[in-house]
Structures are given as structure tokens and as C-alpha cells.
Amino acid sequence: MTKGKVALVTGAGLGIGKAIAERLARDGFAVAINDVSVDSAEACVEALRASGATATAVPADVSNRDQVFDMVVNTVADLGRLDVMVSNAGIVQVDPILAITENDFDKLYAINVKGVLWCAQAAAQQMIAQGRGGKIINAASAAAHTSHAVLGTYGSSKFCVRALTHVMAQEFAAHGITVNAYCPGIVDTGMWDTIDSRAAEVLGIPEGAMKQKALDGIVLGRMQTPEDVANLVSFLAGSDSDYVTGQNILTDGGMVMI
């Protein structure tokens, strides 16, 4: 149990999710670490505890609604409450429209869209029961604001997250719950290596060409780090964002301007 605020971060075993968990721990949150990999979740928890943070592992598959609700129950059992839900878990697929299969589509939407919905339902239910409001923070993408060839399933799933974020903000406001999304651009993680490698294969371009084209469009002239994303999530999780809701905020170095 903890007397401070509690945040749950999905997909926090590595990459952006891990950076978010580390930042929220530094901000003073007790952190529940979710990942589909038990080993990744527990390794992150071990590192956080070594730094003096309070953390617990809550492995679950976010595409499974029952597992998500159990994940929230386990978070509250271990840490006492839930104040912030960060629905970070997601996957990417790189395929032209004519090559998308039903299985591919269903798998990506199960994680990127259903996972966000189930996490919001479970978190909101707990926050409403607590009666003290809360913050739900969803992972969207710069691809939720502009479309890219061979990223049809991924981009469309993030457009769905934008819409869900708007509706959640409207429906949960009466309970003191704010709902926002962060929209990263080109983040220096394994996911972008996968995108670049697969794009080279399906588009017949040199490996590295898609990444370089994306980099050329970034006003600030560098790739984003996971910590850059975590900085925005820190703001959305903290009290300075109490009057911000229903927003899908770009953190992409000026790649997309709206």
C-alpha cells in the first residue's frame, strides 16, 4: 500500500512505456508496471525499486478485457488506489492496403484500440468508485493526425484512439476524470527500426530511406527519445494539466503542425 498517488502504465517493459514509468516514479508516483511479458514487467519493477521507487508488476494482455480488469484490481490490491492510467501498449504493422489480412487487422485493433478502451473502462470504474477523479492518458501518434502509405492499419487505429479520447473526456468529466492522448512522432526505439526495415521490403527502397525521409521532415532536426514522450505524459499526469481534457497532443519535434 502507498499513501501517494498511483499510476499504471501498460506496455512498460521497454521503450516509451518504460521511460514513462521511470519518469512518473521520479515524479513521486507509485507505479504499476504492465507488460504482456512477465519477465519484462518484473525487470522494470526491480530497476525502479533499486532507485527507491514503489513499484509492482501487473502482467496482462491488454487485448483481453477480463485480464485488463484484473490488472486494475491487482494494482489496487498492491498499491491501494489508482489515480493515473497510461494506456501505452501498442503494436505496428507495415503493409500496403491490398496486403492487409483479416488476422493482421484484428490483432492490431485488438491491442491498439480495444486495449485502450478496456483500460479506460477498468480505470474509470475504479476512479469513480474512489470518488476522487483521476487521469486517463492514451497513446495515439502523429499518425493519428496525418496518414502515411503502408501504415494504414496502424494510422487508422490511432485515429480511433483520437476519437475515443474525445468521447471519454466528455463522458468522464462529470466524475472529475480528465482524458488526453499523447501523439509521438519518430521515436528512437525498436518499433521504428521495424517500420523502416519492413517499409524497405514492401516499397522496394533502401533500408534507412523511410527513416531518413521522416527525419528530414522534423523541424527540430533530430529523432525523438522515449524521454521526450515521457516529459509530456508527466505533464498530463500531474496537477498542472487539471484543466486540460479531450486533447490529442503532438510531441513530434514539429513534424506535423495543426
Residue 216 belongs to a domain: no
Residue 206 belongs to a domain: no
pTM of the model: 0.96
- Supply the range of the domain harboring residue 163: 6-187+225-251
Residue 135 belongs to a domain: yes
Which pLDDT belongs to residue 2? 67
Residue 215 belongs to a domain: no
- Domain count of the fold of the chain: 1
Which pLDDT belongs to residue 69? 98
Residue 217 belongs to a domain: no
3-state helix, strand, coil in the chain (%, to 5): 55, 15, 35
- Any idea what the CATH number is for the domain that residue 48 is in? 3.40.50.720
With a cut of 50, which residues of the chain have pLDDT below it?
Answer: none
The question of whether 154 is a catalytic residue gets the answer: yes
Which of 109, 154, 182, 243 is the catalytic position? 154
Residue 210 belongs to a domain: no
Phi, psi at residue 148, to the nearest 5°?
Answer: -135, 135
Count other C-beta atoms under 10 Å from residue 202's C-beta: 13
Instruction: For 110-247, list the strands marked E by DSSP.
Output: 134-139, 177-184
Residue 195 belongs to a domain: no
Which pLDDT belongs to residue 1? 58
pLDDT in tens, 222-257: 999 999 999 999 999 999 999 999 999 999 999 999
